[in-house]
Structure 1
């Protein structure tokens, strides 16, 4: 019996009692986005979460970058999310290095500062609407996989039990039980301890820019939420050994911000205070058999640049359509190997760039300060470096490997093309591949089989961009799968095994 027979995507009568096509561990942003995508594709998915029901009132992550907003747009969520926060067109790091993101070639040329719980609210609503099941108070305690599926051991208030799944996805955070049950190492180190955080009001209103500034012995950052509160964070070399559960005194954080910025901006009315440490780690394999890891379970980054949650959400987008295609029988199981080959290098690159930003913020000795000065000059005045830095921070600059001889666009992010059916990212809400043809081109023959039409949308460009290739095939996650002449488009769709 094949895995698609034992664990069909839908909830038909063939399913064994207590079994699911996919079990997702963790109802954070990564797990909820993945569950919503799978459920939208008709996959029977259950999310297990050890926390009790309810969205956390802590903001934790607070920045949603352009590429993530584009992918949320492909789910009909981005514009609503934008109304919950503050739009920022510039990041100013280390007191002087400006990252102008207002000129990004995107529908969302900005950083959205909004609490993580606002992201979770939208993703939870969508997941439930699409039919995903969320089981709170259910903690994964172990797993056992075989050729046909995964047996997931869980603990609830009623006792210990098991779930059976075709695939298990660990999106259960930096202390992932799923990762530990696989026996995978999580190499890396703690890069900074005892960062104090709070959401506060300011008497003196700074300009609406996300700022990070350091003095060597301390650094601070500020970011506006748009509701009168600002996220502030600070680190002081004198307090670097404090444990995470050590209480934060408001005066401690106020003093750090004043040292870092030369002013505390009249900080007052903190709605919460906390302390955290930051690791830089990455698991060597995102897939082990029928178990996959995503988000903080697979990688942890420094907070510089605000890329952690964004990277996890983009993991989920990459993985969701691939799992759905495999479970539907439209693609071989080997397609899931490309989840690791595409997302692991991105996680590694984020580790490198966010780590560099953090170390520059903590620059202490003359050599480090000199390197920061050089970095400022290069990023500010060398355009290719500027584009690369902005592309890394916002996520729009990352691309996936392409086969030798492929068109130069293959693996790159697709912009929001204007089509005869609307915008590309509106069409992508159907969760299918999109074949985009020139305005005058006829639809290719040989694409009328029910299976192909189920997984393929054919549309035409409406903006007349003469610089674009004649035809492009866009993956469900918004990256180019193929580009070339219009007369070859039927062949392109036909040789893509998970399309036709």
Structure 2
């Protein structure tokens, strides 16, 4: 296959790769997804939590309400030491945690990608790549052993922790294993848990139980005192024992259809871009499952990268726009490593001073609203803010909520076109094909330019008499023309 001058190959068909591929194809970019697995959605996923910011991004693609109906909402998130975060305080339409297996997200995103015209190449493994001034050539091995080459203008590695793309461009993946010998199982339960998500830590033991919705439950457990290699034999009795230690009972689990043992790492690539090759999701960063931030962070990587790569690949923006992907998302990945690791360390605190620190931290979050808001924003993604140029309006770089627009529509409906949205006071006009113009439903006088990923690119508290055309409205955003 020979790629066109503005084609993209996405390696990996997990949630991150599927969302990115769908965004690119919807923007008119020819996209091929290369996946080493055979066709089909696996139900062996580890992710069960869909956070508010992810649901907002899915809403901007017309999928938010559909996916929200598939899962079960949870309005409180338990972390450690009795700490519970009330999600109803979130300033979002989706002010809850959605309990939904990852494969349901993948089904919806795959359908969207197929409808948008994405080409899928399954059973194909990346063995290397070569970059040139005009594109990238992937070396691959087919399922029958045949070797081939695929070419495109850009390649994105969304191929997980053991990313072949990351390895091919020579990027290290520094970090360490944090939790060893984590066990997973899909089981039936004789007794139904009281809570939708059941999670607790006692001494060296941790256990988590979540429903699939088909009569089976996913159990995740860890016993710090039982540290064995990933390939050590695993039986249902071991999973029952860990569950009893952490939760007080095993809920009569039986009929395991799948069991596995793995280890959890904290790692991050030093760069997310090497020339025409980019990384996203677990290929760029991995961390503990605490707080359910893994899949969500990857999907938000894709939302940030998609519109930028589409603009560059089709010649609408300068290539320097791609640098902002790493500038914005690398610090977010680093923050998720810190927060998820902190949750695990506090949950498993054993020494008196670490227990005292946990109690103090829990007390602060319980009493101090700004601290609680910050913690909620970190875990759910609502609080992510990107760097803004010096002297920018206070809104620049911030997530824009789903505000009401004139005519009965919402911002995230307007974002479905994949364009910048310029929200103006009623009566103001602006004509340009580069942006979509909307008006506040209220009498608000602020002018606000919203990026395709739902973050503010520019704002003004009031416009001069000449309107937006005579204001400091930018001619471009980091190489993306706006006039």
Instruction: Identify if the C-alpha distance between structure 1 residues 281 and 16 changes in structure 2 by more than 3 Å, giving closer, same or farther.
Output: closer
Q: Structure 1 residue 489 and structure 2 residue 468: aligned?
A: yes
Q: Is the 8 A contact 2:6 2:314 kept in 1?
A: no
Among 295, 301, 310, the residue aligned to 2:287: 301
Of the three residues 394, 419, 440, the one matched with 1:461 is 440
CA apart distance, 1:16: 5.9
Asked if structure 1 preserves the Cα contact closer than 8 Å seen for 2:156 and 2:280, the reply is yes
Structure 2 residue aligned with 1:10: none
Match of 2:116 in 1: 130
Question: Deviation digits for residues 38-65 of structure 1, max 9, x if unmatched?
Answer: 0000001111011111111213211111
Partner of 2:99: 113
Tell which deviates more after alignment, 261-270 or 340-349.
Answer: 261-270
How far 1:139 moved relative to its partner?
Answer: 1.2
Which shows bigger deviation, 46-55 or 321-330? 321-330
Aligned residue in 2 for 1:477: 453
C-alpha distance 91-209 of structure 1, shift in aligned 2 (>3 A)? farther
Q: Which one of the candidate residues 349, 360, 364 is aligned to 1:363?
A: 349
Deviations for 1:377-429, whole angstroms, at most 9, x for unmatched residues? 11211111111111111010111000000001100001001012511101101
Deviation at 1:18, TM superposition (A): 7.3
User: How big is each residue's C-alpha offset from its partner over 1:165-197, in whole Å with a ceiling of 9 and x where there is no partner?
Assistant: 111111111001111111111110000011111
- The residue that corresponds to 1:172 in the other structure is 159
Is the contact between residue 76 and residue 426 of structure 1 (CA under 8 Å) also seen in structure 2?
Answer: yes
**What residue number does 1:432 align with?**
419
How far does the alpha carbon of each residue in 1:83-123 deviate from its partner, in whole angstroms, 9 at most, with x for none?
22211111112251101112211011111111111111111
Structure 1 SS opposite 2:89: coil
SS in 2 for 1:399: coil
CA distance in 2 between partners of 1:378 and 1:116 (Å): 33
Aligned match of 1:71: 57
Distance 1:380 1:215, change over 3 A: same
Could you give the per-residue CA deviations for residues 309-331 of structure 1, whole angstroms, max 9, x where no partner exists?
11011000100000111122221
Give unmatched runs, 5+ long, in structure 1: 1-14
- The answer to whether residue 397 in structure 2 is matched with residue 411 in structure 1 is yes
| SS of alignment partner, residue 318 of structure 1 | helix
Counterparts of 1:373 and 1:433 in 2: how far apart (Å)? 45
Secondary structure of the structure 2 residue equivalent to 1:102: helix
Contact 1:94 1:211 in 2 (8 A): no
The aligned residue for residue 3 of structure 1 is none
In 2, are the aligned partners of 1:208 and 1:224 still within 8 Å (CA)?
no
Q: How many residues align?
A: 474
Counterparts of 2:207 and 2:358, CA distance in 1: 16
- Taking structure 1 as the reference length, the TM-score comes to 0.91
2:262 matched to 1:262? no
Aligned to 2:21: 35
Pick the aligned partner of 2:11 from 25, 28, 33: 25
Distance in 2, Cα, partners of 1:81 & 1:252: 34
Distance 1:340 1:188 in 2: 19
Residue pair 1:19, 1:163 contacting (<8 A) in 2 also: no
- Give the C-alpha shift of residue 482 in structure 1: 0.7
Contact 1:428 1:478 in 2 (8 A): yes
* Aligned mate of 1:240, from 197, 206, 227: 227
Which residue does the alignment assign to 2:381?
395
Question: Aligned with 2:93: secondary structure?
Answer: coil
1:327 aligns with 2:290: no
For 1:103 and 1:223, the matched residues in 2 are separated by 23
Query: Matches of 2:200 and 2:463 in 1, distance apart?
Result: 51
Task: Give the match for residue 340 of structure 2.
Answer: 354
Shifted more, 480-489 versus 115-124: the winner is 480-489
TM-score (norm 2): 0.94
For residues 208 and 461 of structure 1, what CA distance do their matches in structure 2 show?
A: 41
* C-alpha distance in 2 between matches for 1:169 and 1:486: 40
1:326–1:332: 8 Å Cα contact kept in structure 2? yes
Give me the CA root mean square deviation.
1.9
**Helix, strand or coil: the match of 1:59?**
coil
What does residue 91 of structure 1 align with?
Answer: 77
Change (3 A) 1:18 1:443: closer
- Out of 224, 234, 251, the residue aligned to residue 237 of structure 2 is 251
Post-superposition offset of 1:372? 1.7
Match status 1:288 vs 2:274? yes
Deviation at 1:67, TM superposition (A): 0.3
